[in-house]
Amino acid sequence: MDRLARIFSQQNELITLIGGYKDEFETFKSLASMPADTLQIFQQLALDLLQDLEQPVDRKGCAERSRNLREEGNLVFKESATGSSKDSVLKACRLYTAAVFEAEDAMEELSLAFANRGIALQEYGYYREAYDDCANALECGYPERLRHKVIMRQAYCAWKLKKIASLEEHLEHLGQLQLKENFKQQLEDLKQKLELLKNQPKEQETQAKVVDKSLGEILTDPGPRGRYMVAKEAISKGNVIFSERASCFVPLEQQLICQQCAASLMSAPIPCPNCHQRVVYCSRKCRDAQSAIHKFECAAYRKDILRLLGISHLALRLLLTYIPYIMPHLQEMTSAKGMWKEIMNLSRKPEASENAPEYLRSLRMVSQLDQANNEEVNYHILCVNLLQLYLKEHTDFYDQFHSFPASIEDWQLIISALILRFSGQLLANGHVGDGLLGVSMEPKEFVMLQPELWQKPRHLKRGQLHNLSHSDPITAVNLPYLSLCNHACEPSIRTKFDGCSVVNYAAKDILDGEEIFNCYTNDYRTSLKLHRAHPLKDIYKFECTCAKCTRTDPDQNYLSFHRYRCEKHNCRQEFLPDVKVQQNNLRWWLRSNAEKPITCTVCQELQHFAWYNEFLELIGSSADSSRRQALFKAFDDLDKWLVDHHSLKRIMAEELITACFYEIDGGTSLNDFEYEDLARIIRKQLEGTAAQCGDNSTEYIARMTYLWDIIAQKKCRTDKKELLEMKGKVDYLASEHREVFLNYYNDFIEQ
């Protein structure tokens, strides 16, 4: 990052946009018209950076590390053959996965690691993943003399998966080989299984009904409102308004999720062997589907430049995804100017229908670069220039344009302008998708491979659901249809991210013809108006005039979660901190605000919050039963100081719950009364979460996992109504998590 910053600083001094920023095309046209010697220095800085970022591969070291991990996995897997629990099998899978990653492009070791992981996956019951690993091993050059073993396992997995055509293909291949007697017997057994499979009645494929209809209608206002969405009919709270599948997303913070479908629960991740362990797929199917994009990004991942460029990486992916659809419109154009004019014509055409192609919707999104300051514009220019040079010098991307009448130099100008356009659009229209991840997972650790959590594929052990409750942003996504929704601090929709798709539910009852709003920042219940106004102005370039921001007291809902009772005995009145004086330290318990006190607005006395420090001391000694009892009482006493659903009460509940479950996971036994107290506190926390964040929010579901674990262990009382209400929340989870949650509910909770 420091190296990039230094290069950008040097390049920035050389940039002079003649006449200031006009549009994306004119920007790069102006850049190309710099004096030749200046331009040469400017571009050489970027080229040197790209060269310096190349990371050599220690293939010998990779092979050795992979071999050691595989051999360790072999020892663990042999333990499972003695009749021990399946934990050893999953532990072996984890070690073999580490061997796969460490091998990188040491292909011999990679093939062996895939093959051995395939055996363990098959033993555990992950037949689809085992089948893929057999194919991976063969593809990577598994030794010829042993290939029949891998093909036999493929055939077995194909039988388990009821893939008749694949099973026939593998059996035919095996029939042509010289096999030993034991393999001949396995072959005959599989042939018999194939005949039985053929004679079974065909299962009817049940597919979820896909509803293409959107309950939203796109309208256009020639003024600042622009395009917006209204309800076609009255929509009840909880109903689906519309769904959208994104072709373009990128993982955030180098999250190891599938680059094609954004799956995060992977039991057999398949890394690209050339990307230094930075790119993974959940299956060969996803890997192959992404190959047309990844072939142009692979070297960039190897150089590790994409994580440095922020939103420009997603802009690059839009370019790589949409250029095949844009190219036919430009095949007769002979100049960059003509091509850009045609692209702008495409971007200005009105929506013909809600089913317009995604690339056209994306081209039509609003960009705010023309309102950005010079420093911001220059930063994005430098990012795009680096990416364009990368495509030119380190990929064969531009080879596809040789048959077009326009020159390659013209195409370089168009590609730069398009990436810059997408960058500007994504600044105002990009979305961040969240997901549930494993708690306390190390980088390159996969929650599905933790033997202490799982009893069988996608079935958690009793009491382990809370270890799947860490909520975090995982993707930056382009969603051009959702982007048509204007902003309001009280949104009309609740967006569920499901891999690379989204489902948008009505967050409240919506009238026929009423505008449908999204919220671009924290909403009116979780932030002050002042704190929302800054990002709206800085990023989205407008001032909010929604109903919540223009009322007499725009902060009343947020402040309702910050009401205190004065700790002075001669006062004891409820009060709200003076927001004008203390707007930046309402969350005084954060370390950054530790020296900013709260004063009672009734008696003007300083609040010392001794009870808060006492609570933290008890948290640190929650292994002791008597101290836990004191901790539970201290939480109940919070009602003396914090009114109703004070946000600090939720945070302190989370500290208490996390500390207690840490002890439970470590083997500490709680008595029945303690479990009832703990369940009561979780329910109290859920009430507060529902009040401030919503009872179908990711925050609510994450906190709910702790209550499910106590109920699953039969350690607290519940009733049918509560169970059904909690089960209903699962609908708001991504499908991969929904399956795990429902399995857990059916295994341990359903009465």
C-beta of residue 248 within 8 angstroms of C-beta of residue 477:
yes
CA dihedral (222, 228, 234, 235) in degrees, to 10, reads -170
- Report yes or no: 656 and 630 within 8 Å, Cβ to Cβ: no
Using an 8 Å Cβ cutoff, are 158 and 134 in contact?
no
Strand partners, 216: 231
Residues of the chain with CATH 2.170.270.10: 213-246+479-524+526-560
- For residue 252, the one-letter residue type is L
End-to-end Cα, the chain, rounded Å: 55
Decide if 614 contacts 634 (C-beta within 8 A).
yes
DSSP state of 205: P
Residues of the chain within CATH 1.25.40.10 domain(s) are 59-198
pLDDT score recorded for residue 354: 58
Q: How far apart are CA 608 and CA 626, in angstroms?
A: 26
165-168: long-range contacts, CB 8 A cutoff, minimum separation 24: 166/131, 167/193, 167/194, 167/197, 168/194
Q: What is the pLDDT of residue 468?
A: 95
Cα 729 from Cα 51, distance rounded (Å): 50
Q: Identify the three-state secondary structure at position 590.
A: coil
Q: Collapsing DSSP states into helix, strand and coil, what is residue 36? A: helix
Give the integer Cα–Cα distance in Å for 395 and 399.
9
Q: Could you tell me if 423 and 380 are in contact, meaning their C-beta atoms sit under 8 angstroms apart?
A: yes
* Cα distance between residue 534 and residue 541, in whole Å: 10
Q: Which pLDDT belongs to residue 364?
A: 92
- DSSP-derived 3-state class of residue 525: coil
Collapsed DSSP state (helix, strand, coil) of residue 551: coil
Which segments of the chain have a pLDDT < 70? Answer: 1, 18-19, 83-84, 203-213, 350-354, 581-585, 590-596, 751
HSE, CB side, 13 Å, CA atoms: give it for residue 502: 27
- CA-based nearest residue to 400, from 412, 386, 387: 412
pLDDT of 113 reads 98
Q: What angle do CA 659, 700, 585 make, to 5 degrees?
A: 70
3-state secondary structure 646-689: CHHHHHHHHHHHHHHHHHHHCCCCCCHHHHHHHHHHHHHHHHHH
Architecture of domain 213-246+479-524+526-560: Beta Complex (2.170)
Q: What share of the chain is helix, strand, coil (3-state, %, to 5)?
A: 55, 10, 35
pLDDT of residue 591: 58
The predicted pLDDT at position 484 comes to 92
Question: Could you count the other beta carbons within 10 Å of the beta carbon of residue 371?
Answer: 14
Cβ atoms of residues 511 and 247 within 8 Å: no
Strand segments, DSSP code E, in 519-642 are 564-565, 574-575, 598-599, 606-607
Residue 166 three-state SS = helix
Domain over 59-198 is classified CATH 1.25.40.10: yes
For position 27, what pLDDT does the model report? 93
How big is the CA angle at 595 (ends 593 and 599), to the nearest 5 degrees? 90
Give burial (CB, 10 Å; 0-12/13-18/19+) of 340: buried
- Closest among 747, 145, 248 to 460, alpha carbons compared: 747
Provide the whole-model pTM. 0.94
- 649-654: long-range contacts (C-beta < 8 A, 24 or more apart)? 649/684, 649/685, 649/688, 650/685, 650/688, 650/689, 650/692, 651/589, 652/612, 652/615, 653/681, 653/682, 653/684, 653/685, 653/688, 654/685, 654/703
